[in-house]
Amino acid sequence: MYVIPEIETEGFTEHTLALLQEHYKNPRIGTFGLTEDELAAISADLPSADWDLTCTDCGSDLIAIPYLVTIVRSDASTAEELSVLWGLCLEVAEAAKTVISIGDTGIPSTLRPKVRVFPDFEAMVPKLKYLLLDALRRSKKGKAFSKTLANAIQILCEIRSRPGVTTRQLAEKFELSPRSVQRYVETLRVAGEWIEYDARTRGWRLGCGGRSILWDDFDDEYREEPL
């Protein structure tokens, strides 16, 4: 199920959430400073019809809405606009989104490694489809990694709070296969967690008195006494 990013959904009705899920399920492109002809050229060259293309006239929209790709024109902006624009793009880039700049004006050194720069619109067009597909691939890979990490942390929390919990109980709680649960346990072990199999309960527990490295349960043991 697609998770709506960067939006507070508490208190929304099921109908409203369904509408938001529908609205944000497609990959989205946000643009700033492009002409109507340039937008039409991008629309005609999208990888598929399910991509949403948006033209913004307010720079804050670049981070207010979750775009997969952001395309900005830096060669036709004022110094004040660029200051705001690149400040916003820094936040976008930190979220692992793809930022494309037409023109090489005023890009901060900290942002430059994260921006694909083209001297003009015509130079970008032949590369755009590949950039969009690469952004989509990286987004899917990132979501898969986030889901994997979340599952591992949830399983660790359950083992920590319920010593002796079985593989089947973990599988049912987190809607995973027993084999997947066992893989997550092994991953946590490789990461340094001392997880033991309790033959009596046929379940899992943390060694060293139920302490976890991730949760800093060993911290007090090694903390220096105040002078």
pLDDT in tens, 116-169: 899 999 999 999 888 888 888 877 765 666 677 788 888 999 999 899 999 999
> Per-residue pLDDT for 90 more than 60?
yes
- Which domains does the chain show, CATH number per domain? 14-119 (3.40.640.10), 144-222 (1.10.10.10)
Q: Which one has a higher pLDDT value, 15 or 29?
A: 29
The two beta strands, 115-118 and 98-102, are parallel
Residues 53-60 have a mean pLDDT of 72
CA 91, CA 62: separation in Å to the nearest integer?
9
pLDDT of residue 123: 93
Q: CA–CA separation, 68 vs 23, rounded Å? A: 14
pLDDT for res 223 = 45
pTM: 0.55
> Quick one: pLDDT band at residue 220, thresholds 50, 70, 90?
low
Q: Cα separation of 204 and 101, whole Å?
A: 51
Averaged pLDDT of the chain: 77
Q: Judge whether 154 and 175 are in contact, CB under 8 Å.
A: no
- Give the pLDDT of residue 6: 43
| Predicted local distance difference test score (pLDDT) of residue 31 | 86
- Mean pLDDT calculated for residue range 53-65: 68
Residue 195 contacts residue 204 (beta carbons within 8 Å): yes
